Amino acid sequence: MTILAVMVLVSILNLHNVIHHGEVRYVFSGWAVPLGIEWVADGLASVILVLLSALGLLGVVFTGPTSPKALGGRIVHFYTLILLLVSALTGIVFAGDLFNLFVFLEVGALSSYALVGVAGGRALFAAFRYLILGTLGASLYLLGVSYLYALTGTLNMADLADRLPLLLHSKAVVGGLLFMFIGLGIKMALVPFHAWMPEAYTYAPESTAPILASLITKVVLLAWVRIIYWVFNASTIIFDIPILLLVAVLGVLAAVIGASLALAQRDIKMMFAYGGISHIGIILIGIGQGNQTGFVGGIFYLMNDAVMQAGLFFIAGVAICQYGVRTIDDLGRVGRQAPWLTGSLVVVSLGMIGLPPTGGFFGKWYIILGALEAGNYVSVAAVVLSTLLTLAYFVKLFEGIFRQSSTQSDFQFGEIPLSFKLTLGVTTAAVLILGIFSAPIVQLLLNQALPPGL
C-alpha cells in the first residue's frame, strides 16, 4: 500500500512536469534509439498513469476485509502479483517500442491469470480460458510486430512513424496492423473476442476483480490507440489505411451487444462484466471518428469507465462479502439496510447510464459530438441505444434492491468495514468530480494528449 501511495504522488509530480516542461524520454542503459529501449512520458501516458496508480491503490485498500476468505491465506503472493501487474501496466503506458510493449503485456497477463485463479474452484477454469485466449492474442500481436520489423528493420515507435509512410503500398503493413489489432482486441475483450472476460471477472476473488476490471482492458486499449495514432499517424489511418472504419464498426457492435448481454444477466458481477464490454465499444466509437472531439471524448470516457468499473466491482465485492448477495434475486433481502451500497450504486449507475453531472455524461457527449462532426450517425445511434440498454439493466438492478420482501426483517447486517466505506466513497466522489471538472480535464487532454497530425 505504501509503494502504491508513493506511486500516486510520483505520477502526479510527473504529470505536473510534463504539462510545464513537455514530454520526457528516457533511454535505458545508455543505448540510443532506435537500438535502445526507450520509455516515453508524454501527456497521454502521464494522465493515464495518475489514474492507474490511484485505482491500484484503492484496489489494495479494498483488499483488507476480503483477502482472508478469498485468497486462502496467500496474502504475500497476492500483493506480489498486484505490484507486478501495476508495474507491467506502467510499462505498457510508457513503452516506446513495440517489442517491449509485448513484454509488458505478457507480464501483466501472467499476473492477471494468477490473480483470477488464486481462489480455486470455477475461477481456475476461468483463468485457464483467459490464459488460452490471452496467449492467442499475444501470438497474433507478436506476429504483426514481426511483419513490421521485417519490413522496416526497427521496433521503436518514433522510428517506425518516420519509416512507415514510405512503405504503405506493402501488404505487410496492412497485415501487421490487422494481426496486432486482433491480438490486442482479444486482450481488451472487444466483441467478438470477448469470451474470456465475463467468467474471469465473475469468478475472480472479490479482492482482485476491481483492479482487473478497471485497469487491464483500458490499458490494452490505450496501447492500441498509441499504435494506430502515434506509429501509423492520424493522416495515414484516416486517408490511406481505413482502420478507423473497422474500429468504429466493432465499437458499435460491442456497445450494443455488450449492453444487451448485460441486460440478460441475473448475476451481479456478470452483469457488470458485460457492461464493461459495452463501454469498451463506446470508447472505440470515440477513438474511431478520426477527429479531435471524438478522440478526446473517447480518452475522457476511458478515464471515467475505469473509475466506474472499479466502483461497480467494489459494490459487487461489498454485496458478496458483507451481505452474501450475488444475484439480483438476492438483493431484496438487503433492501434499505445497505446505505453505502445503494448510495454508491445510484451515483455510479448515473455515470454508466450517462446522466449529468457525472463524467459519464460528458464523455458520451463529446463522443456523440465527434460522431456528428464526422457525419457518422450510426455511431450516434449506437451510443444512444447502448445508453437505453444500460438504463434498462440498472433499472432491473434497483428493482431488486428496493423490492419489499416479507422476510427482509429476518436479516440483520453489521456495519461495513472502513476500507469498504473509503473505496466506495472515493470512487463515488470521483465519478462526480470527473463530471464537475470535465471542462478543464478535456482541455488538458486537448492540449497535452492529442496524437500528431490529428
User: Model confidence over 360-399: pLDDT tens digits?
Assistant: 999 999 999 999 998 899 999 999 999 999 999 899 888 8
C-alpha cell at 11: 505520477
Round to whole Å and give the CA distance between 387 and 450: 27
Round to whole Å and give the CA distance between 28 and 73: 38
Task: Report which of 341, 340, 339, 364 is spatially closest to residue 434, judged by C-alpha positions.
Answer: 364
Round to whole Å and give the CA distance between 31 and 322: 53
The beta strand positions in 5-99, using DSSP E, are 24-27, 38-41
Cα distances (angstroms) measured from residue 301 to each of 260, 283, 327, 367: 20, 6, 28, 8
Q: Residue for cell digits 505487410?
A: 172
Does residue 152 register a pLDDT over 50? yes
- Give the count of alpha carbons within 13 A of 159, CB side only: 18
- Give the count of alpha carbons within 13 A of 362, CB side only: 21
Integer-rounded Cα Rg, in Å, for the chain is 21
Q: Residue for cell digits 510508457?
A: 94
Mean pLDDT, rounded, for 101-130? 89
Q: What is residue 290's predicted lDDT score, i.e. its pLDDT?
A: 85
Confidence band (pLDDT; 50, 70, 90) for 411?
A: low
At position 28, the amino acid (one-letter code) is: F
Contact in structure between 124 and 117 (CB atoms under 8 Å): yes
Q: What is residue 406's predicted lDDT score, i.e. its pLDDT?
A: 40
Find how far residue 36's CA is from the centre of its chain. Answer: 29
Round to whole Å and give the CA distance between 237 and 235: 6
Round to whole Å and give the CA distance between 19 and 7: 18
Round to whole Å and give the CA distance between 258 and 384: 14
Lowest mean pLDDT among 276-280, 318-322, 347-351, 362-366: 318-322
Mean pLDDT, rounded, for 62-70? 63
Is 30 exposed, middle or buried (CB count within 10 Å of its CB: 0-12, 13-18, 19+)? exposed
Task: Report which of 408, 274, 284, 414 is spatially closest to residue 352, judged by C-alpha positions.
Answer: 274
Confidence band (pLDDT; 50, 70, 90) for 103?
A: very high
pLDDT in tens, 26-44: 888 777 778 888 899 999 9
Neighbours of 443 (CB within 10 A): 11
Confidence band (pLDDT; 50, 70, 90) for 107?
A: very high
Q: Residue for cell digits 480535464?
A: 441
Confidence band (pLDDT; 50, 70, 90) for 409?
A: very low
